[in-house]
Structure 1
Amino acid sequence: MSDNADIEAMLKMIVIAVVGCSPDPGRASHQVASYLMDAGFRVIPVNPACDEILGERCYPSLAAIPEPVEVVSVFRRSEHAPEAVREALRIKAKGVWLQDGVLSPEAAELAKAGGLRFVMDDCIMRQHLSRFGR
């Protein structure tokens, strides 16, 4: 359920909060966050169990981030996706990107109703690589 216009628009945004970012370099969330940083994005890790990931301060929630966030990239189980969308709406993000395997019709409806750009079950890194290479 990826609208090409939403993909294109979000790939042009700069500030991305990575919800569920892992400090483990073997985890997809860590690898994607690292790639996005190398590609020039401002990546803000969100993980309540960490103080720092990839040299960046890590926040316990989206609400704790003291700067505007454009895209919320979600690396959490599907059942957590609706709450991630609600949090994204509260902080006035412009879009939510649910990574590979994260599926939630409820999150999609919440995003649509809130006017958010929305991508589900797709990888932001793969989409960026396919359009811009590295």
Structure 2
Amino acid sequence: MPPLNDTQKVQILVQSKTIIIIGLSPDPTKPSHKVAAYLQAQGYTIIPIYPKGGEILGQKAFSTLQECIHAIYAQGIHIDIINIFRKSQALPQIAQDIIDLGIKPQCVWVQLGLHNAQAKDMLTRAGIAYEENSCIKLEHQRLC
């Protein structure tokens, strides 16, 4: 499956409301925090995944994707995008977790500088759009 084109990206960004951010740092100097703050300012609901939990940008941070999914699905919340700020080698396990948990976001968006052919193949075979090596904030600014 080729990378998403601009029309597909716009459609995903415009239709989406809720974004899980895996690897969201509470440190305001980190790129993940800056991207999340921007997305929040654009009206998206962000759901942080951070191993130590706590609260980030006024939102409860879940320590694992599994914990997050169980909590938000119980509230009837639908996930539109999963944005990932983790090392490229961690992507296949995250992809497997997404598939095992039965999550069907519109898109898994892997941040600039990160890529993994195995994760891409797993998720696209599961019918999930996949964007990698691409900053969701920069693409939103460029396209929306």
* TM-score, length basis structure 2: 0.85
Match of 1:26 among 12, 25, 29: 29
Q: Which residue of 1 aligns with 2:46?
A: 43
Distance in 1 separating the partners of 2:8 and 2:98: 16
Q: Which residue of 2 aligns with 1:111?
A: 123
Match of 1:87 among 87, 97, 101: 97
> What letter is aligned with 1:27?
K
Q: Which residue of 2 aligns with 1:76?
A: 86
The Cα offsets for residues 25-79 of structure 1, whole Å up to 9 and x where unpaired, read as 0000000000000000010000121311011000112222223211110000001
- SS of aligned partner of 1:22: coil
Identity among equivalent pairs (%): 29
> What letter is aligned with 2:13?
L
* Runs of 5+ consecutive residues of structure 2 not aligned to the other structure: none
Deviation at residue 104 of structure 1 after TM alignment: 0.3
Distance in 1 separating the partners of 2:123 and 2:142: 25
- SS of aligned partner of 1:92: coil
- SS of aligned partner of 1:107: helix
> Runs of at least 4 residues of structure 1 off by over 6 A?
none
- SS of aligned partner of 1:96: strand
Q: Which residue of 1 aligns with 2:12?
A: 10
Aligned residues of 2:10 and 2:143 also touching (Cα < 8 A): no
- SS of aligned partner of 1:17: strand
Distance in 1 separating the partners of 2:97 and 2:11: 20
